Amino acid sequence: MLAVRPADFYHCRMDILSAPLIDPFARAIDYLRVSVTDRCDFRCVYCMSENMTFLPKADLLTLEELDRLCSTFVGMGVKKLRITGGEPLVRKGILTFFQAMSRHLASGALQELTLTTNGSQLRKYAADLAAVGVKRINVSLDTLDAAKFAQITRWGRLDQVLDGIQAAKDAGLRVKINAVALKGFNEDELFTLTDWCADQGHDLTFIEVMPMGDLGNEDRLDQYWSLKDLRSTIAARHRLTDLTVRTGGPARYVRVEETGQKIGFITPLTHNFCESCNRVRLTCTGELYMCLGQEDMADLRAPLRASPDDAALQAAIRAAIARKPKGHDFDYSRQTVAGKVTRHMSHTGG
């Protein structure tokens, strides 16, 4: 029997801890989406109920705990960090968290630090976000009609969001507009949105509505607008060229030849994008969801708080990645909503 020297054991252990995160389907997990709060100053109809019961603030991870968790993931090979909510910029002290994460950009361990926002707080934060190394942001915006915007967000004001987008642009941030495709709501604004984004120099991504939260099946079916149909409508007016460029997320992009703008399509229903999934999602309470469209999750708060040493936390992360499924089960094809998950989008993070 060969003897194992302590030094050999140490190096073996370090190799295991530093090994990249690979799921059961040989996909490298290098993208973490982190919800820093479940709270939001809007109540978008496809994201949450109007009368939401939010988590007690005591249940949320502290910003220091979020720092430690994100830093652990970065140390395990995560290269892209997207901050989400709720609305991430309503979290008290959130800029200190971005400042803390910027050290990973400075070291080169993290390639990109970004966020998804409703835009309401960008006038306040855009310049500071740019100063800590954020280069681009996603802004959720489904309509350019003020009355319809108030209807879809329930509490939002379009002028405030447009002013925030301008502040981001003035700060040098690259803005991508995310628009949820909603049948009977923004179908008539398809070219209004695309033309406005082209004029403003913003990329644009359309997203199919997903069966999440407590809305009934009939509501989701009534809202569902296939991006296959949406793309065909654009193609009837413009020449579209498929692009191979990927930004780390699930969108597939085309270039509009007449304007040069880039339009993306996130199609969980008409074209399942799971085969290339490189993402996991961390909630503001430390739950790690390995798939947006599945209920399975891992509790990382317990090992995080159990010990100041990260070994147990890293082991819990690896065990969770080992359970990452091949894909979601979202399906509208039989005029019913299959694969529906009960949690609100705001719980997992947009």
Q: Across residues 37-55, what is the average pLDDT?
A: 87
Across the chain, mean pLDDT equals 87
% the chain with pLDDT above 70: 82
Query: Does residue 269 surpass a pLDDT of 70?
Result: no
Give the containing element (helix H, strand E) for 218: helix 217-223
Q: Please give the model's pTM, rounded to 2 decimal places.
A: 0.85
CA distance 225 to 184: 9
Least confident of 1-5, 80-84, 246-250, 261-265: 1-5
Residue-wise DSSP of 299-337? E-HHHHHH-SSSHHHHHHHHHHHTT--S----B-TTSS-
% the chain with pLDDT above 90: 69
What is residue 336's predicted lDDT score, i.e. its pLDDT?
Answer: 45
Which residue type sits at 70?
C
Q: Across residues 104-120, what is the average pLDDT?
A: 98
Least confident of 8-17, 101-110, 126-135, 293-302: 8-17
Render pLDDT for 194-233 as a digit per residue (tens, 0 to 9): 999 999 999 999 998 866 445 443 455 567 889 999 999 9
Query: Does residue 337 surpass a pLDDT of 70?
Result: no
Q: Is the Cβ–Cβ distance between 313 and 300 less than 8 Å?
A: yes
Q: What is the DSSP letter of 304?
A: H
CA distance 256 to 276: 25
Identify the structural domains of the chain with CATH numbers, from first to last.
23-348 (3.20.20.70)
What is residue 153's predicted lDDT score, i.e. its pLDDT?
Answer: 94
What is residue 9's predicted lDDT score, i.e. its pLDDT?
Answer: 41
Q: Is the Cβ–Cβ distance between 207 and 193 less than 8 Å?
A: no
Q: Which residue has the higher pLDDT, 89 or 11?
A: 89
